[in-house]
Structure 1
Amino acid sequence: MENKSKPKYKLILDAAVEVIAENGYHHSQVSKIAKKAGVADGTIYLYFKNKEDILVSLFEEKMGQFVSKIKDEIEQIDEADQKLYKLIEMHFQQLSEDPDLAIVTQLELRQSNKRLRLKINEVLKGYLTLMDDILHEGMKDGTFQDQLNVKLVRQVLFGTLDEVVTNWVMKEQRYNLVKQAKEVHYLIYNGLRKHN
């Protein structure tokens, strides 16, 4: 496989997002992705083993950028509850700015086989760790209750964000997703905060 930093690699991944969002993963032939990217079918195999590899690479690449942007923003913030708000807001913002990617992550990745799902879960670990870090920080500094089951809270947090975005995708993105960040933060934060 050739270097991931080459322009054609990114071109193919961007084309794959569009093609998969439009046709669904199972109806997205490699030839359609190649056509959308403006490359020969064979070129794709210089970068990827097969269609499944394209989907995993796409998720790795986009999720990597996603987590790194959120990390950068969160590092500028001191309070755990504000970090939590920023994470929620940016989760919604990044997916609302790329509706095709939202369709792929919320709908198409769910329909993949078990082996693929395991690879995707591996990629998600960095994001889930970021959530854990915020929760631990809030427990330590007294913002959040100190007896939280972090793993369970993280599942609730991720599940909530995930469901809110999925609902937005299913409703054909007809409303402003980012505007829901405040309300979601309010619900989660009030469940977590330490009551004096």
Structure 2
Amino acid sequence: MGKAGAPEKTRTRRHANRLPAEKRISDIMLAARQVFTERGYDDALISEIAERAGVVEGSIYRFFTNKRDLLVKVVESWYEEMLEEDSAQFSAVRGTWNQIRFVVLQHLYSIRREPGLSRLVFQKLRSEPTYRATRVFQLNQAYTHRIVDIVRAAVAAGELRPDVSAGLVRDLIFGGVEHRTWAFLRNEGDFDPVALADDLTNMVYRAMAIPAEDRPDRLEKAAERLEKAAERLERLVDDPAR
């Protein structure tokens, strides 16, 4: 039995070795994402990842330094996916309130879709002392910075108060989301993404927004109307026949 199985195993290994490196890396990353999501970091085994990817265990160490390096690459890939998907949709969103809500809702959906990866980022990677020097940190900054851009643009347009700190708004939003979804990530509760996105957006926006009647653009238009009315009155005084 062992002798009969040996040639097949050899053929499988040779076939795997003939696969392009890009394909093997892709298969390993997909398998690793599944295993990390299902088992967490500590219980994830390189041998199981290799089996699911259809490669020998040594192939993984050819492309990745160790299990942590593989986790980091999986998380980096996840962030890149989210950034690309969100960017395509965000370009069509108009209005500050809608833009903030879009970012909040997409973030909530990402947590619901990938609770395992979210836990790994919160618990494993972000808690490490070297986190701020990693590419994962840079990607997270890019991912959350859209809120900063939205707020700064709205402040410049006179829609939001000039004393608003865009960085603080970002921290409040993402910190609030993390706090409100933590029970879900611990498998101890659930949340409604749409309702939570609406509530959080309303709370943040209303605290920052300048009343519509006090906004510079409204005041400028009102001033223009007054000037035109004054001009008409002056013309009537100069030419009563009109």
TM-score normalised by the shorter chain: which range applies? 0.7 to 0.9
| Contact in 1 for aligned 2:181/2:191 (Cα 8 Å) | no
Gaps in structure 1 of 5+ consecutive residues: none
SS in 2 for 1:12: helix
- 1:39 and 1:116 map into 2 onto residues whose CA distance is 30
| Contact in 2 for aligned 1:88/1:185 (Cα 8 Å) | yes
Residue in structure 2 matching 1:134, options 146, 150, 155: 150
Gap change, CA 1:114 and 1:34, over 3 Å in 2: farther
- In structure 2, the partner of 1:101 is 117
- In structure 1, the partner of 2:229 is none
- In structure 2, the partner of 1:151 is 167
- 1:131 and 1:185 map into 2 onto residues whose CA distance is 11
What displacement does 1:51 show? 1.5
Gaps in structure 2 of 5+ consecutive residues: 1-20, 215-242
What displacement does 1:116 show? 4.4
What displacement does 1:94 show? 2.5
Aligned-pair RMSD on alpha carbons? 2.4
Does residue 79 of structure 1 match 2:108? no
| Contact in 1 for aligned 2:75/2:117 (Cα 8 Å) | no
- In structure 1, the partner of 2:46 is 30
- In structure 2, the partner of 1:166 is 182
- In structure 2, the partner of 1:21 is 37
SS in 2 for 1:27: coil
Identity %: 22
- In structure 1, the partner of 2:55 is 39
- 1:110 and 1:139 map into 2 onto residues whose CA distance is 31
- 2:169 and 2:191 map into 1 onto residues whose CA distance is 27
Letter in 2 for 1:191: A
- In structure 2, the partner of 1:91 is 107
Q: Provide Cα deviations, 1:52-104, integer angstroms capped at 9, x if missing partner.
A: 21122112111111122222221112212211111111111123223333333
Gap change, CA 1:160 and 1:33, over 3 Å in 2: same
| Contact in 2 for aligned 1:30/1:41 (Cα 8 Å) | yes
What displacement does 1:161 show? 2.2
| Contact in 2 for aligned 1:93/1:178 (Cα 8 Å) | no
Does residue 114 of structure 1 match 2:121? no
Letter in 1 for 2:130: R
Question: Which stretch of structure 1 is more off in the superposition, 128-137 or 170-179?
Answer: 170-179
| Contact in 2 for aligned 1:12/1:33 (Cα 8 Å) | yes
| Contact in 2 for aligned 1:81/1:138 (Cα 8 Å) | no
- 1:8 and 1:172 map into 2 onto residues whose CA distance is 37
Letter in 2 for 1:158: F
What displacement does 1:173 show? 5.9
Larger-Rg structure: 2
- How many residue pairs were aligned? 191
- 1:184 and 1:193 map into 2 onto residues whose CA distance is 14
Does residue 58 of structure 1 match 2:51? no
